[in-house]
């Protein structure tokens, strides 16, 4: 039974990885930093991009406004240790579940999914 659970957990992790990889730009891609970037690297990248796409510098440019919102969203997650950990493990769906639960717990619990 434990062996079967381990296989299901591994399969779930692999599927999650590929969904994140192919679902579109990751928050790391948006901020143009590597996955293991330090807090300082993330902050510097955010400041650089936020200045470039800030609505005050790009008045009337809807594309820049969308990009600025993406940058802010990515920074909000990657600058928060708990959110970043959840995002790295479970992607955006894990963050949504974490937010829906009021921020309690560690996000998605894979064991609960398979025990049903």
Nearest Cα neighbor of 77 from 52, 51, 54, 103 is: 103
pLDDT of the residue at 55 = 94
pLDDT > 70: what percent of the chain? Answer: 67
Q: Tokens representing 95?
A: 């963050």
Whether the predicted model's global pTM rises above the 0.95 cut: no
Q: Tokens representing 99?
A: 């937010």
pLDDT of the residue at 36 = 93
Distance, in Å, from the CA atom of 48 to the CA atom of 84, rounded to the nearest integer, reads 20
Residue 25's pLDDT band, with cuts at 50, 70 and 90, is: confident
Can you say whether the dihedral through the CA atoms of 89, 95, 96, 100 is positive or negative? positive
User: What would the pLDDT profile of 53-91 be if each residue is shown by its tens digit?
Assistant: 999 999 999 999 999 999 999 999 999 999 999 999 999
Cα angle: 33, vertex 74, 67; to 5 degrees: 95
Which one has a higher pLDDT value, 60 or 113? 60
Distance, in Å, from the CA atom of 74 to the CA atom of 19, rounded to the nearest integer, reads 18
Q: What is the CATH T-level fold of the domain 25-107, as seen in this structure? A: Helix Hairpins (1.10.287)
CA 59 to chain centre: 28
Q: 38: how many CB neighbours lie within 10 A of its CB? A: 10
């Amino acid at each position: 039974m434990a062996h079967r659970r381990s296989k299901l957990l591994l399969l779930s992790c692999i599927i999650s990885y590929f969904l994140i990889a192919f679902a579109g730009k990751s928050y790391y891609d948006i901020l143009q930093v590597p996955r293991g970037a330090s807090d300082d690297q993330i902050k510097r990248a955010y400041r650089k991009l936020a200045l470039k796409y800030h609505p005050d510098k790009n008045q009337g440019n809807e594309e820049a406004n969308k990009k600025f919102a993406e940058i802010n969203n990515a920074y909000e997650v990657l600058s928060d240790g708990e959110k970043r950990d959840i995002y790295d493990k479970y992607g955006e769906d894990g963050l949504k579940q974490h937010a829906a639960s009021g921020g309690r717990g560690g996000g998605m619990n894979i064991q609960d999914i398979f025990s049903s």
